[in-house]
Each structure stands twice: as structure tokens, then as C-alpha cells.
Structure 1
Amino acid sequence: ALLKLMNSISTDIEGDAFGKIYEYFLGNFAMSEGQKGGEFFTPTSIVKLIVEIIEPFHGKILDPACGSGGMFVQSARFVENHKKNPSTELSIYGQEKVGETVRLCKMNLAVHGLSGDIRESNTYYEDLHKAVNQFEFVMANPPFNVNSVDKSKLKDDINRFPYGMPSVDNANYLWIEIFYSSLNEKGRAGFVMANSASDARSSEATIRQKLIEDRVIDVMVSVSSNFFYTVTLPCTLWFLDKGKRTTNRKDKVLFIDARHIYKQIDRAHREFTDQQIEFLANIVRLYRGEEIENNRGSAEMMAEKFPNGCYVDVPGLCKVATMDEIRGQGYSLNPGRYVGVTEKEKESFDFKERLEELNTELELLNSEAHELEAKIGNNIALLLNTIDTIE
């Protein structure tokens, strides 16, 4: 329906305006479709923040769960904002499971004057772009907590899944390994992930520990609830950087708690303003030793939190944790474990926030329960087989 609607719009409209019209319809269509719409559309302010933090100035970009292509469009806009031509600076590659969504993505690129190699495929089982170690940038909003992935088809692919298979029936860490393995030696990745992945236990915790000890986790940002059309729960943005291994950030991870930073659009939805996006990205720039930007009005916020123009830990907002601190927290990547709270927050109690924390904890416990149930079932089956053999 959306494709037919866009085809009916006059082609006399200039390219950039036509592209913005297409984005507007995509966003509204996704909102009206709810769960189904969220499968192909990531809220623009989330995408903008990911792009501002990974800084795709030049190189090959991969989104292995590309939906309608929002990550590509915002990356191109980032390049334009820095006075370069995205058509010459960026090479775009994507994979998407749903054929109709592939067409949405290709049209989204076309109306923005972009081209890319977008293919229909199931990324769990197919690597059509031969992505291992190839990309400067990986961005994605993969489906959360997918079960029933046939891991027997994946377990021997040690190039794509170098940390092995998680034993739980949950694909979150399969995605994380795909993103990691697709990066070249200097590559950066930014992606959306379920909160539960930051503290997931058992085999997932082992994979997370290896990622941390391999010095590729760079930044973690917790995001408030109600940013997405599919779920109301909060999420976490993960940022990997293989290039940090040769910097003074090698043994550090920046944690940002952005759960209190948002603009309320309506009763059910929130977003980041451009000013807030610039502010959060500037925290990362200070941490990396880069020059901050002030094109979106974040100067006042920066002066309040970082008056000396240098990075400092700010209780309730950001904290640079050392490897020893992360080990001491059992390799948790939950920003709330490190950032703490402001004095004002200590005096108040946010019932909704506490409920969300309890829900995340329940997800973890349910995941553990399913894993234990599977182990018990396997052990009983082995025991019965042994008894049959003895008899």
C-alpha cells in the first residue's frame, strides 16, 4: 500500500523534498501498523544517535537487518552535514528477510539519490555479502529475543560466530556475533539490543565476557521506554570499536544512562530532539578525545555538565568504567550498574522505572529457567537411554 501511495506522488518534486516525504510516510505507516511496522522501521531519532556515535565519514556500511533502510539514509545525511558527497564516500550493503521490505528499502535509497546492494535473505543462515572482516561500519536494529533459530546450521561457522553458540533459545547474541565478525580491524558497529542482553547469564554471559576482554565494547547507552512502535520497554544501544584496541581507551568502556533524556511526543511515544542527540554524541566525543560539535544547540547542556570542556564522570548520566570495575560487576554491560544516580534521584522513587527494571530481571530469570529446563530434559533422556541399555 505504501509503495502504491509513493508511486502516485508527483515526480516533479525535488529529490531531497521527495525523500523527506517518503520518510514521513514510512514513519506514520510504521506507527499505524504497530508491531508489523516496527519490523521495518527504526525511529529516526534512535538512528540519528547511532550514526552520530559511530561517525560513518567514509567506507563500507552493512545493515544485516536493514528494514526500510533508515540507517543508510541517516548515514548519508551525516556525510552531507560534514560537506561531503555520500555517493562517493559510502558504499551501502544490506540484507533483509522480507521481500516487500527489500523493495521499501530500495525505494528509500532511490528517493534520497542513493544506491546500494540490498538483498533478500535470512541473515542467520546466509552471508550474501561475504561480510566477515570486511566492513568499516555495521548498524542494525535486529528483531529481539527470536527463538527457534536452527543453531545446528551455524555451529561450524566459526568465522561468523567466533565466540560459539549460545545455549539458550534466543538469537540476541547470534546477532551480536554477526555484527562483530563483519567489522574490519578498525571497524565500528552501533546497534539496538534488548535490555536483557546486557546482563544475560550462562552461555550468553560467557560470550559477553569474551567481547569485553577482547577490548571491542566501546560505549553503552541505555534508552527510555516508549521509543519504539513495537514494544514499550526500554532498550540499550551497543557500540563496538575494533580500532579502540590501539588507543588509550583500550581498557575502558563508556556507560551513558539516557533514560531521563527524551521529548514526549504523545502519551505513548518519545523521541530524542536534535539538541539531545548532539549532547549525547558530544559526551562520546569528549571520551574519545575528539572535538565536540555545536550545530544543534547543545552548548548550554554541555557547559552545565562539562564546564571545563573535558570529559568527567557525571553521576546519573555517564561513567567511564575500567576493566577491573567491569569484572567486579560480573561483566555486566548495564549502564545503571556503573552510572549511579544524582542526589535528586536518590530522594525520589520512580515506580515505572522500577517496574521496567523488574521486568528485565524477569526476562533474565525466564531465560535461565528455559535453559535449565532444556538441560534437565536432556539429562533425563540420557538417563533413560542408559537404563534401556543396561536392561
Structure 2
Amino acid sequence: MAKTAKSKKIVSMEEALWKSADKLRGSVEPAEYKHVVLSLFFLKFASDKFETQRKMIAEKYGNKFVDNIAFYTKDNVFYLPAESRWSYVMENAKQDDIALKIDTALFTIEKSNPALKGALPDNYYSRLHIDTNKLASLLDEIDKINTDDSENDIIGRIYEYFLGKFALAEGKGKGEFYTPKCIVNLIAELIEPYDGILYDPCCGSGGMFVQSIKFVEAHSGNKKKVSIYGQEAINTTFKLAKMNLAIRGISANLGEKAANTFTNDQHKYLKADFIMANPPFNQKEWRADNELTNDPRWKGYEVPPTSNANYGWILNIVSKLSQNGVAGFLLANGALSDDGTELKIRKQLIENGLIEAIIILPRNLFYTTDISVTLWVLNKNKKARVVEQNGKLKRYRNREDEILFMDLRQMGSPYEKKYIELTAEDRAKVTSVYHNWQQEGYEETYKNVPEFCYSASFDEVKEKGFTLVPSRYIEFVNRDENIDFDTKMKGLQAELKELLIEEEKSKADLLEVFKELGYELT
């Protein structure tokens, strides 16, 4: 029988995930771990929500309505037939046909809920041939996970966790990783996607969309005013994105199938009001030499080189922006100063007044790379105008000949020992500077700050050869000029003396221990 709630030991998600993966060793390749665990976790998550809703219906309307599907869909809860509920899976966890029962459960959920079409794996567990005991043990670990985590992107967290743990086995260097919540929040807080079309050309597990909708709701906006479009090239990740969005009741058009954004654009004629993206960094050989040379997305610009897709992603984003569209996306720092064709495209972007802000982020924000990356903000309309946004009037000044540079490398707080996250306070400081700089009366609210921000004119950027490296514009203090060498050396002298004394004491203690044991070191 399934365990009762009282007998369960609820463990942290990370602990349960690690134990879950450990159960799979020797049965499946590490690259498959996250997919095996994610679908089971989805099954438990959906079942827990279903059981909560079922209990509420019974208490409020009576038992005769507990199988009325409309009472579930109205609250964005999936209706689960008996054979697809977690309790049924756990009751049969040690049966020889448990893999088939899991596949049947997932198939039944998808068939009963149109929003999940194409999201769940088909006959996946039966094909894996995982040992029954190992699969049962895995189910026991999943059963311990507390799914009540309304503040975070749960599926994204799991995805990020597995990509971090097994980056050497898959994904590293391909850019196929989940974007940390603090970065997504920063982008959303900068571009403010309250009302209109939101697009992500490389949406991964859909975390950008999840956090953007949370941003809208947190600011008393209406998520129904945001239309979501996205695309993902990797089929398993495409399914994951659909699963992630469906479980939260977020409607989205991710195209007909998983497809390469460059060679099979699923939204050719889309014009988006907001674009958020984290494209693969420095993607090599993204097109053949004679491929996409006349693509309309490059119209008015040089054709992006085959050696690196960074500027291909930039021009794809530019081509999708509406007349007042704004985009926030991440790129490797090299894109700020690349020469050759990239320089020509960058020069064109700057001359066309599209680049609004360039923001260097701290290192160690991502699980799968420790490099410092850049957040680009593009804006199709940097002219003076008045806009009603979420019930408030914003008076923008003309910024066509200016670019805001910011350096956040001294910001952030330690997170899970080796990682950094931008706190709410950090993000508030950054967004306040950015929005003040954009608006009328900025002379009273914005100023250039050494080692943090600088508003550069077009002529300044032109004079520096159209480089977008923030340190070429932001003033940096030479701290060496302010160091009292004698005081510094005396401080180091005292520290070193103390360390040597402690070392001698440790050595004496060790010799004494061996002497007492009868093994004196002579």
C-alpha cells in the first residue's frame, strides 16, 4: 500500500534528487537521469495538486462533483483518472509491470488534458528496461519530495540541478541550461513585460516565461494580457517546457514541434513587444557556408558569420521586435568586442540606435559555466514618448544617441557555497538606475558612478571603435595610489607571524602525540 502522509519523512528537494539519481546508476546513462526523474516528479506534482483540489471539491460541493472535470480545469488543475494517480503508482511500485503502469499513467494524463499534448514521454519507461527494484526505490525517493513550492520554478530547478551535476556528461558548452531565477527576474524588471507578446527564440525549459508571469502577477498585472511565443530545438527540452508551462496553467505557442530557430523558424511573421532569451553561448557551425545567406532576418545588416551564432541570435531578435519592442538577452562577453563581420553588425546596431543598455553580470551565476556574461537590452523606440504601463504613465526622454553601461561584478551574494545570486536589493538598485536614466528629469535622479554605471554618447562609442565593453566607458578607481605601503606590509607581517606561531604549536602537539604512543620522532 502507499505510504500515509504521517509515515513519510519529507526531505529537501536537492537531497531527494541526488538520492533519486543514485538509484539509477548502472541502469541508464547520466544524460537520461533528469528525464527519468522529471516525468515521475511531474506525475507526483500533478497528483498532489489533483488530490488537494479533489478534497476541496468534496468539502465545498459534495462527493458527487469530485469527478467533474470542469471543477479541476477552472483552477488550472489537471484531472487524473484513477490509473494515472500517484497513489496508484505507489501501490504497484514493486510489481513487475510498474514501468508499463507509469507509461500508461502518463499517456492517460496527456489524453485527458489537451494542454499537455506532446508534453509527456511516450512509452519511455518500458523502453528503458530499468530493474524493477531500482525503479521502485526511485519511486520511494520521489514520494518523499514536498511539492508545495509555490515560490519557485520547480521543474526548472530540477532541470538546472541535473544539468549542473552532470554537465560533463551532456550540455556543457552548448548553452543548454536553465537560466537562474535571479537573472530572469532582473531581465523582467528591466523590460517590464506587462502587456503584449512575449517571445523567447530558445526557450529551454520555459523558465523565462514562468518567472515573467510571476513578475506580472507580483506587480498587480494581468497575465491574460501577455501572449507567450517560444521555440526550442531539443525535443526532450521542448517537452519539458510544455510540461513546465502546462502545470502552471500558462498558455503558450511553442510551435508545432521542436525545431532549430535558424533553419526552421516556427514564428516567421511574429512581431513581439518583449523578447527574453538566453541563447547558447558562442555556438559554432550553426549554419553551413551557403545556408541562410539571404535570410530576411539579416536584411539591412551583414550576414552573421558561420563561426559563431552570437550575432545570428541578435539579428533574429531584432527582426522579431515590434515598432516599440524591447528585448533583454544574455551573451558571452566576447560579443562586445568581436572584430570582422561582428564589428560591422555591431556598428550598424549602434548607428540604428537599437542598443539601450549593456550590463556585465557577476561570475558564478550559472551552474554549468563560471564565466562572466553580458545582459544586452535592445529597444526599437528610444525616442521621447509618454506610455501608459500597468496603469501608470511613464515619460521617456530621447535616448537615441546614448547607451547605458553597467558593471555588476562587485554585486551578488553567495549561494549554495560556490555560486552567486543577485538579491532583490541588488536588482532593485540596478533597475532603479536604468529606469531613472530612461525618463524625463533624469538629471535629478541619475548620475554616472565610478565602477558601476556610465551613460555614453554615440560619439564616445564611435571614438572607441564601437566596442561595447563597459570598462572602456565606466570610470575605475586606481586603488594602488591610495595604499599606504608601510601600513599594509606591517599588517601582513603580523598575520604571517601569527600563522608561523600556530604552525610551530601544531607541530609540537603532533610530536607529543607520537611520543605518548611510544613512537617518538627523533
Shorter-normalised TM range = 0.7 to 0.9
- 8 Å contact 2:273–2:325 — kept in the other structure? yes
**1:300 corresponding residue in structure 2:** none
Measure the CA separation in 1 of the matches of 2:482 and 2:42. 52
> Whole-Å Cα distance in 2 between the matches of residues 54 and 196 of structure 1?
23
Alignment counterpart, residue 348 of structure 2, candidates 194, 203, 210? 210
SS, match of residue 191 in structure 1: strand
Matches within 5 A, 1:119-158: 119=255, 120-131=258-269, 134-148=271-285, 149-158=287-296
Contact 2:198–2:275 (CA<8 Å) still a contact in 1?
yes
Once the two structures are TM-superposed, the CA of residue 170 in structure 1 deviates from its matched residue by 0.8
Task: Report the alpha carbon displacement of residue 346 of structure 1 after superposing the two structures with TM.
Answer: 6.8
Q: Distance in 1 between matches of 2:324 and 2:455?
A: 21
Deviation at 1:172, TM superposition (A): 0.7
Aligned equivalent of 1:317, options 452, 463, 484:
452
Residue in structure 1 matched with residue 229 of structure 2 by the alignment: 93
TM-superposed deviation, 1:347: 5.4
Superposition map of 1:194-209 within 5 A:
194-209=332-347
With the length of structure 1 as denominator, give the TM-score of the two structures. 0.79
1:287 paired to 2:422: no
Q: Is the 8 A contact 2:176 2:280 kept in 1?
A: yes
Q: Post-superposition shift, 1:248?
A: 1.3
* In structure 1, C-alpha distance between the alignment counterparts of 2:190 and 2:156, rounded to whole Å: 22
Within the candidate set 241, 259, 269, 1:105 is matched to 241
User: Structure 1 residues 13 and 65 mapped into 2: Cα distance closer, same or farther (>3 Å)?
Assistant: farther
Partners in 2 of 1:17 and 1:230 — Cα distance?
A: 24
Measure the CA separation in 2 of the matches of 1:344 and 1:122.
48
Question: Measured at CA, do residues 262 and 19 of structure 1 come closer, stay the same or move farther in structure 2, by a change above 3 Å?
Answer: closer
Is 1:77 the counterpart of 2:214? The answer is: yes
Counterpart pick for 2:166 among 33, 45, 53: 33
1:42-53 equivalent positions in 2, closer than 5 A: 42-53=179-190
1:290, distance to aligned residue in structure 2 (A): 7.5
Alignment of 1:1-391 (within 5 A): 1=36, 2-9=38-45, 10-11=48-49, 12=51, 17=149, 20=152, 21-34=154-167, 36=171, 39-86=176-223, 88-119=224-255, 120-131=258-269, 134-148=271-285, 149-167=287-305, 169-246=307-384, 247-289=397-439, 310-342=445-477, 344=479
Return the structure number with greater strand share.
1
Q: What is the aligned length?
A: 331
**Structure 1, unaligned runs of 5 or more:** 292-305, 349-391
Measured at CA, do residues 159 and 23 of structure 1 come closer, stay the same or move farther in structure 2, by a change above 3 Å?
Answer: closer
Distance 1:130 1:316 in 2: 41
Q: Deviations over 1:111-139 (max 9, x none)?
A: 2221101131101112211245x110111
1:389 is matched with none
- Between the aligned partners of 2:240 and 2:272, the Cα distance in structure 1 is 23
Q: Compute the RMSD of aligned alpha carbons.
A: 2.4
- Do the aligned partners of 1:19 and 1:108 also contact (CA within 8 Å) in 2? no
Gaps of 5+ in 2: 1-35, 54-76, 78-147, 385-396, 484-522
> In structure 1, what is the Cα distance between the partners aligned to 2:254 and 2:480?
46
In structure 1, C-alpha distance between the alignment counterparts of 2:444 and 2:165, rounded to whole Å? 43
For residues 195 and 216 of structure 2, what CA distance do their matches in structure 1 show? 8
Counterpart-to-counterpart distance in 2, 1:174 and 1:89: 30
Higher relative CO (CA 8 A, sep ≥ 6), structure 1 or 2?
A: 1
Q: Map Cα deviations across residues 74-99 of structure 1 (whole Å, 9 max, x no partner).
A: 1111111221221x110000100011
Q: Assess, with a 3 A threshold, how the Cα gap between structure 1 residues 345 and 143 changes in structure 2: closer, same or farther.
A: farther
Matched with 2:56 is: none
Identity %: 37
**How much does 1:219 deviate?**
0.6
CA shift, 1:166, in A, is: 2.9
* Map of 1:353 onto structure 2: none
347 and 29 in structure 1: CA distance in 2 versus 1, 3 angstrom threshold: farther
Higher Cα Rg: structure 1 or 2? 2
Does structure 2 conserve the Cα–Cα contact (< 8 Å) formed by 1:67 and 1:105? Answer: yes
Distance 2:332 2:481 in 1: 26
TM-score by length of 2: 0.60
Worse-matched range after superposition: 72-81 or 91-100? 72-81
Q: Distance in 1 between matches of 2:477 and 2:232?
A: 42
